[in-house]
């Protein structure tokens, strides 16, 4: 299984696009707007001084990336509750934490202690990013299975019709929708050899029927159209997807891979 790990070897970013299985085989003005600080986790208001500091950090960190041979373009930077650490979103790669001197980056779990339960800080930061990205998706670009009756929950599933665990999850669709869960499929072919099939599914007049047929191993008619498969695959990379199925709730939280309908419902009921 391959997956981007800055902590393991940051130089790997410069040379490889990683696939994982059920794992997988502009202008300056725009940049200025992109790094405008949002309200920090601590709730303190952003200031002009802070924005200027973020701009300088962005420029320095981008220069350090380039000097180290890391081809990752910085999209946004925002403050966090962690002293001297900033949350950095990257184009085509999962987000990282960066030190205020732009000399260190970190990708992994940061946990806050001192409360009655441990708080996953980085997971919360990732979820905020993911929520925005998922909300920007157009329903017509997905395969949507509405809930039966009242919709209680919505989940997004990065899926590949060639993935055995995706097949297993797909078998439980009726059980999931009967529990009030709306399921939205996002195309995420696990390797280059699976792109054609996923594009054929997304170009079919009836995507659900085409997905069902592919899951059963039936050949699909080759169909070409303007489709969102590559964009959805890139979205998965940006969010850190490294295998299928990858299930997220509407708030952008990663819930896990394959799980039974009962387990999924139980997970969805848990507080964020």
pLDDT interval class at 104 (50, 70, 90): very high
User: Could you tell me what percent of the chain has a pLDDT over 70?
Assistant: 83
pLDDT at 43: 41
Given a cut of 90, is residue 22 above it in pLDDT? no
Q: Domains for the chain: give ranges and CATH numbers.
A: 12-124 (3.10.450.70), 139-269 (3.40.30.10)
| Neighbour-count burial of 31, counting CB atoms closer than 10 A to its CB (0-12 exposed, 13-18 middle, 19+ buried) | middle
| Selection from 155, 168, 238, 166 nearest residue 198 by Cα | 166
Average pLDDT of the segment spanning 197-219: 96
- Mean residue pLDDT of the chain comes to 85
Using one digit for the tens of pLDDT, what is the confidence trace for 40-55?
Answer: 444 444 567 778 888 9
The pLDDT of residue 53 is 85
- Quick: pLDDT tens for 118-169: 788 889 999 999 999 999 999 999 999 999 999 999 999 999 999 999 999 9
In this prediction, residue 115 carries a pLDDT of 81
Q: Are 51 and 37 a contacting pair, CB within 8 Å?
A: yes
Q: Give the model's pLDDT for residue 218.
A: 94
Per-residue pLDDT tens digits for 238-261: 998 999 999 999 999 999 999 999
* Predicted structure pTM score: 0.76
pLDDT band at 271 (very low <50, low <70, confident <90, very high): confident
Using a 10 angstrom Cβ sphere, with 0-12 exposed, 13-18 middle and 19 or more buried, the burial of residue 99 is: middle
User: Burial, 54: exposed, middle or buried (Cβ in 10 Å; 0-12, 13-18, 19+)?
Assistant: buried
**Once rounded to an integer, what is the mean pLDDT over residues 89-102?**
90
């Amino acid at each position: 299984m391959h997956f981007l790990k800055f902590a393991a070897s940051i130089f790997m970013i410069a040379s490889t696009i990683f696939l994982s299985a059920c794992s997988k085989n502009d202008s300056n003005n725009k940049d200025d707007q992109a790094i405008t600080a949002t309200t920090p986790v601590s709730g303190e208001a952003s200031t002009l001084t802070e924005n200027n500091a973020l701009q300088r950090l962005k420029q320095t960190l981008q220069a350090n990336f380039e000097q180290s041979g890391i081809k990752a373009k910085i999209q946004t930077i925002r403050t966090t509750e962690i002293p001297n650490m900033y949350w950095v979103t990257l184009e085509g790669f999962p987000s990282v934490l960066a030190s205020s001197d732009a000399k260190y980056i970190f990708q992994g779990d940061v946990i806050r202690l001192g409360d009655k339960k441990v708080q996953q800080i980085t997971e919360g930061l990732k979820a905020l990013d993911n929520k925005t990205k998922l909300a920007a998706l157009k329903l017509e670009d997905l395969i949507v299975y509405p809930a039966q009756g009242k919709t209680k929950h919505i989940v997004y599933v990065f899926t590949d019709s060639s993935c055995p665990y995706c097949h297993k999850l797909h078998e439980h669709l009726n059980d999931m929708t009967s529990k009030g869960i709306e399921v939205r499929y996002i195309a995420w072919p696990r390797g280059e050899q699976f792109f054609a099939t996923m594009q054929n599914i997304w170009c079919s007049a009836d995507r659900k029927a085409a997905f069902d047929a592919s899951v059963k191993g039936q050949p699909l008619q080759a169909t070409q159209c303007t489709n969102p498969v590559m964009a959805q695959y890139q979205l998965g990379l940006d969010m850190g997807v490294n295998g299928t199925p990858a299930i997220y709730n509407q708030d952008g939280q990663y819930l896990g891979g394959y799980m039974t309908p009962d387990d999924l419902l139980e997970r969805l009921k848990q507080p964020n």
